[in-house]
A and B are shown apart, each in its own frame.
Chain A
Amino acid sequence: MSAPSLDYDKLFTARLQAARARPYLATALFALHAVESRHVPTMGVDRYWRCYVSPRFVERTPVEELAGVWVHEVSHLLRDHHGRSDRVAEERGLTGPGERLRMNIAADCEINDDAFGDGLVKPAGAVEPALLGLPTGQLMEDYLRRFQLGSRTLELAWLDCGSGADGLEREWELGPDGAHGLSEQERDAVRFRVAQGITGRPGSAPEGWQRWAEEAFHPPQPWRALLGAAVRSAASAPGAGEDYSYGRPSRRSAGVPGAVLPSLRRRPPYVSVIIDTSGSVSDTELGSALLEVAAISRAVGGRRDLVTVVPCDAAARIAHPLCRAEGIPLLGGGGTDLRTGFAKALRGHPGPDVIVVLTDGQTPWPDSRPPCRTVVGLFPRQHRHSGWDEDDPDYVPDTPPDWARVVHIG
């Protein structure tokens, strides 16, 4: 039996259905360039936005399933699975074709757990986290940690979504110099347009895609680095910490008789940490954040006795042992209202240079700016809708004020 030639009409009918079912992905779907290939088992993409299609696969697959495959393949490219695979391979030292297969499977899990349904059929043989006994809603990097190739993945060994999914170049791909490839800038432009379409019309795309759109060009950074930078910058900015002052003349003054030059002086910053948990933040999270703040303020020249912790109610149970171990003086407990925490911190002598607030944000904030720099470490709320009050549906928790630098923790 001779191999069939590619049924482009069927393939493009499927793409049209995919674009109708997922209008926010239409730009990306249409940007893909279809290439007939007898080397792919089904369909696969490379990082230059070419889509390799097996004619036999198109022949035997119904249109509605092909539509699902289109969306699946374009998701690999939008979610930058090839770039992320390369990075994860380098970070964790994963080499070899087996590892790339694992990356392809993990990437498939990230896509498939919320790609289908709502007018799109799940193609036969699509890998889902449940198949590997894994929870849904994780990222590829997380899935990758949680399974090994084994009996459960045996039947997936044929799976191949191309280098666009796992970063490993295939021999039969056209490569960077081949026809109809997209340059890096063009790829970014397409991804940007899709992201803009999603954020511009929130509500039309599922949550997973909205999260992707928000983070596509601003990937979240590790909160430790951000909190560290915020505290460090607050503690060392003019007026606090290490800077030039006229308090003592510079040693260079000898060279310019008669002139008074400022010298670099280190004045250790006073840091107050206000903790408000209201019971919704886990002890581990709070403990690690508090340790982080203590370590950072020490690094910028603060001494132990210059870091004070102002605990608010429930937090006291963690703050006490931690501070005893760290030698940080504790100020007394207080109510759940953060404003009392601010007042207490500011009453100290001398007043703090920096106030670091660790909170989940479910609190009223002071009306006016405190006379020192404020960094807010914001914990995620444990329940997605806990800000919604059954007795008062109109209740909206205050967001941290403009004068505070806000770092999202976790």
Chain B
Amino acid sequence: MPTHTPFAVPTLPSEPGPTADTASQLDIAGDLLSLLRCTTTEPRPDIQLEALTLAVAADLPVLLWGEPGIGKTAALTQLAAALDLPLTTVIASVHEPSDFSGLPIVGDDPAEQGVPMAPPDWAVRLVRAGRGLLFLDELSTAPPAVQAALLRLVLERRIGALQLPPGVRIVAAANPRSSAADGWELSPPLANRFVHLRWTHDHEVVVRGLGGTWPRATLPRLVPERLSEAVDFARRAVCTMLAARPELTHQLPNSETRRGGPWPSPRSWEMSLRLIAFATASGVSREVLSLLVRGTVGDGPGLELLAGLDRLDLPDPEVLLADPTAAELPQRGDLRQAVLDGVVAAVRARPGKVRWDAAWALLVRALETGAPDLVVVPATTLASLRRDDWDVPTEIENLAGVVTLSRRADEAAARAKEATRTAARARR
């Protein structure tokens, strides 16, 4: 419907009045804006988004560390859409402690009925919906008292008298210390409750996204048949590791560089266990699991746990000894040597002629399928395990090349020693 203002009669038909002009210009601006908003997505592997999704699925609070303006909020919006959860954003730094612990409301008879702590409206709406993604932004610039109030929210999922339903997931974001000039640092108890993920931008993704196509991460899918197997695996991984390294069970961050970041404690180990189970059940890559575990217990303990997982993946020496002809040895040299060392150690632990022969057969197989220098140390050790009444197996002939190789390396080492000695003399 065209609108007419009787007071502003246009002098020329080609020049519309100011009001009509403004209205139509705003309409056109709206059209332009909606065109700009019209973008598509494409599937693209993105391990940080996969890690975020998996941690959210495992119902662990995630903390995204990233410079301002690199799209943390955008990622959260996308995640909420992908999980079909309504997104509630709360800027932690502009709130007061009472916004998270509840506002005291004085009733008729406080002495008799007490003072209830009333929750803020967003919490009420979240509880009423029963599900949602709660995004606590600007966590590191919240004053210490607000952080203390948030501790209860993240830890016990309580806001005042309200209990957040299980369908609500919590994600927080913080700016790293280097860019938060006026920020506080995260207290160790609050830091220990989160899975820390470093959020970085991928230049290619940004350029392609500004061109109109943003990445769409494929969400990891849990396979129902693998659930109990995944729990067994996760428990075995964490318990084996902590049984061997009890000092890693609880380590408060002691150096300045590690403050505010992830650190190992029984709580964060339990979180790791849960993440391994989820990663195993959904079959996500080791890369994603690595980000998550290192973000939960810290780099050192996390890497040690992952190294343990790698060892769990290696073939069992007893299985290899039982049937050396069918043995599948890892391609990677360092892993292969670890397996061969394990086999020799197994023979040493429980010696026997049959096992000794089987080990030789394995070494020959290793020589035929990979680099010869890896076989030298296991072969030397195995030879030293020989008992007087054990005949040398015929396979050893195949290892003659290894002996030559070892001898040539010795000769080269002697020449190197001589050369360095000469060089040292010359310098003097």
Binding site for B on A (CB under 8 A): 8-9, 12-17, 19-21, 27-28, 30-34, 62-64, 67, 116-122, 180, 182-186, 188-190, 192-193, 196, 217-218, 220-221, 225-226, 229-230, 232-233, 236-238, 242-244, 250, 252, 255-259, 261-262, 264, 299, 405-408
Contact residues in A for B406 (Cβ distance below 8 Å): 16
Asked if B326 CB lies within 8 Å of chain A CBs, one says: no
18 contacts across the A-B interface (CB closer than 8 A):
A21-B416, A27-B334, A30-B333, A30-B374, A67-B416, A118-B420, A119-B417, A183-B286, A183-B287, A184-B287, A186-B332, A196-B304, A225-B177, A252-B103, A259-B104, A261-B98, A261-B104, A408-B256
A233 x B184 contact (CB < 8 A): yes
B97 x A262 contact (CB < 8 A): yes
With A17-B409, A121-B420, A192-B303 already in contact, the answer to whether A64 and B373 are too (CB < 8 A) is no
A232 x B415 contact (CB < 8 A): no
Asked if B144 CB lies within 8 Å of chain A CBs, one says: yes
Contact with A along B163-193 (1 / 0, CB 8 A): 0000000000000011001101100000000
Determine which of A117, A185, A244, A255 lies in contact with B306 in the assembled complex, contact meaning CB atoms within 8 Å.
A185
Asked if B258 CB lies within 8 Å of chain A CBs, one says: yes
Beta-carbon nearest neighbor of A117 in chain B:
B420
Q: In the assembly, what is the distance between CA of A189 and CA of B406, in Å?
A: 28
With A13-B373, A31-B333 already in contact, the answer to whether A242 and B143 are too (CB < 8 A) is yes
Beta-carbon nearest neighbor of B374 in chain A:
A30
Q: In the assembly, what is the distance between CA of A16 and CA of B406, in Å?
A: 8
Q: In the assembly, what is the distance between CA of A63 and CA of B286, in Å?
A: 37
Q: How many A-B residue pairs have CB under 8 A?
A: 179
Asked if B372 CB lies within 8 Å of chain A CBs, one says: yes
Binding site for A on B (CB under 8 A): 96-98, 103-106, 110, 115, 143-145, 148, 177-178, 181-182, 184-185, 255-259, 285-287, 290, 299-300, 303-304, 306-307, 310, 331-334, 336-337, 371-374, 376, 401, 405-406, 408-413, 415-417, 419-420, 423-424
Contact residues in B for A16 (Cβ distance below 8 Å): 373, 376, 405-406, 409
Contact residues in B for A220 (Cβ distance below 8 Å): 257
B182 x A299 contact (CB < 8 A): yes
Most buried by A among B182, B334, B371, B411: B334
Contact residues in B for A30 (Cβ distance below 8 Å): 333-334, 336-337, 371, 373-374
Q: A20-B409, A184-B287 are in contact. List 12 more A-B contacts (CB 8 A).
A: A9-B405, A13-B408, A117-B423, A122-B423, A183-B285, A192-B303, A218-B299, A221-B257, A252-B96, A258-B110, A262-B97, A299-B181
Q: In the assembly, what is the distance between CA of A30 and CA of B378, in Å?
A: 14
Q: In the assembly, what is the distance between CA of A182 and CA of B415, in Å?
A: 34
Determine which of A8, A13, A255 lies in contact with B409 in the assembled complex, contact meaning CB atoms within 8 Å.
A13
Q: In the assembly, what is the distance between CA of A256 and CA of B115, in Å?
A: 12
Tell me, rounded to whole Å, the shortest Cβ–Cβ distance linking B159 to chain A: 16
Contact residues in A for B110 (Cβ distance below 8 Å): 258
Beta-carbon nearest neighbor of B335 in chain A:
A31
B286 x A185 contact (CB < 8 A): yes
Q: In the assembly, what is the distance between CA of A264 and CA of B95, in Å?
A: 11
Contact residues in A for B405 (Cβ distance below 8 Å): 9, 12-13, 16
Tell me, rounded to whole Å, the shortest Cβ–Cβ distance linking B292 to chain A: 11
Contact residues in B for A21 (Cβ distance below 8 Å): 413, 416
Contact residues in A for B331 (Cβ distance below 8 Å): 180
With A190-B334, A252-B96, A406-B256 already in contact, the answer to whether A217 and B409 are too (CB < 8 A) is no
Interface of B is mostly: helix
A64 x B143 contact (CB < 8 A): no
Contact residues in A for B417 (Cβ distance below 8 Å): 119
Most buried by A among B97, B333, B420: B333
Tell me, rounded to whole Å, the shortest Cβ–Cβ distance linking A229 to chain B: 5
Contact residues in A for B401 (Cβ distance below 8 Å): 9
Determine which of B259, B304, B306, B409 lies in contact with A229 in the assembled complex, contact meaning CB atoms within 8 Å.
B259
Contact residues in A for B336 (Cβ distance below 8 Å): 30
Contact residues in A for B409 (Cβ distance below 8 Å): 13-14, 16-17, 20, 63
Contact residues in A for B181 (Cβ distance below 8 Å): 299
A63 x B412 contact (CB < 8 A): yes
Contact residues in A for B257 (Cβ distance below 8 Å): 218, 220-221, 226
B97 x A244 contact (CB < 8 A): yes
B416 x A229 contact (CB < 8 A): no
Q: Which 9 A-B pairs have the closest CB atoms?
A: A258-B106, A30-B333, A63-B412, A16-B373, A185-B290, A12-B373, A31-B334, A64-B416, A192-B303
Q: In the assembly, what is the distance between CA of A189 and CA of B98, in Å?
A: 45
Contact residues in A for B105 (Cβ distance below 8 Å): 256, 259
Tell me, rounded to whole Å, the shortest Cβ–Cβ distance linking A174 to chain B: 15
Q: In the assembly, what is the distance between CA of A405 and CA of B177, in Å?
A: 16
B143 x A264 contact (CB < 8 A): yes
Beta-carbon nearest neighbor of A405 in chain B:
B256
A264 x B290 contact (CB < 8 A): no
Determine which of A63, A119, A180, A405 lies in contact with B420 in the assembled complex, contact meaning CB atoms within 8 Å.
A119
Contact residues in A for B303 (Cβ distance below 8 Å): 188-189, 192, 217
Q: In the assembly, what is the distance between CA of A62 and CA of B304, in Å?
A: 38
Tell me, rounded to whole Å, the shortest Cβ–Cβ distance linking A223 to chain B: 9
Q: In the assembly, what is the distance between CA of A117 and CA of B143, in Å?
A: 56
Contact residues in B for A257 (Cβ distance below 8 Å): 106
Beta-carbon nearest neighbor of A402 in chain B:
B254
Contact residues in A for B410 (Cβ distance below 8 Å): 17
Contact residues in B for A262 (Cβ distance below 8 Å): 97-98
Beta-carbon nearest neighbor of B371 in chain A:
A12
Q: In the assembly, what is the distance between CA of A27 and CA of B377, in Å?
A: 13
Beta-carbon nearest neighbor of B110 in chain A:
A258
With A189-B306, A217-B303 already in contact, the answer to whether A64 and B106 are too (CB < 8 A) is no
B412 x A13 contact (CB < 8 A): yes
Tell me, rounded to whole Å, the shortest Cβ–Cβ distance linking A176 to chain B: 12
Contact residues in A for B256 (Cβ distance below 8 Å): 221, 226, 229-230, 405-408
Tell me, rounded to whole Å, the shortest Cβ–Cβ distance linking A279 to chain B: 26
Q: In the assembly, what is the distance between CA of A93 and CA of B85, in Å?
A: 43
Contact residues in B for A183 (Cβ distance below 8 Å): 285-287
Contact residues in B for A118 (Cβ distance below 8 Å): 420
Beta-carbon nearest neighbor of A219 in chain B:
B257
Contact residues in A for B411 (Cβ distance below 8 Å): 63
Beta-carbon nearest neighbor of B411 in chain A:
A63
Contact residues in A for B376 (Cβ distance below 8 Å): 16
B185 x A233 contact (CB < 8 A): yes
A238 x B96 contact (CB < 8 A): no
With A9-B405, A257-B106 already in contact, the answer to whether A15 and B373 are too (CB < 8 A) is yes
Q: In the assembly, what is the distance between CA of A170 and CA of B349, in Å?
A: 48
Contact residues in A for B98 (Cβ distance below 8 Å): 250, 252, 261-262
Determine which of B258, B286, B423 lies in contact with A218 in the assembled complex, contact meaning CB atoms within 8 Å.
B258
Tell me, rounded to whole Å, the shortest Cβ–Cβ distance linking A91 to chain B: 13
A14 x B299 contact (CB < 8 A): no
Q: In the assembly, what is the distance between CA of A15 and CA of B337, in Å?
A: 14
Q: In the assembly, what is the distance between CA of A182 and CA of B103, in Å?
A: 54
Q: In the assembly, what is the distance between CA of A21 and CA of B310, in Å?
A: 27
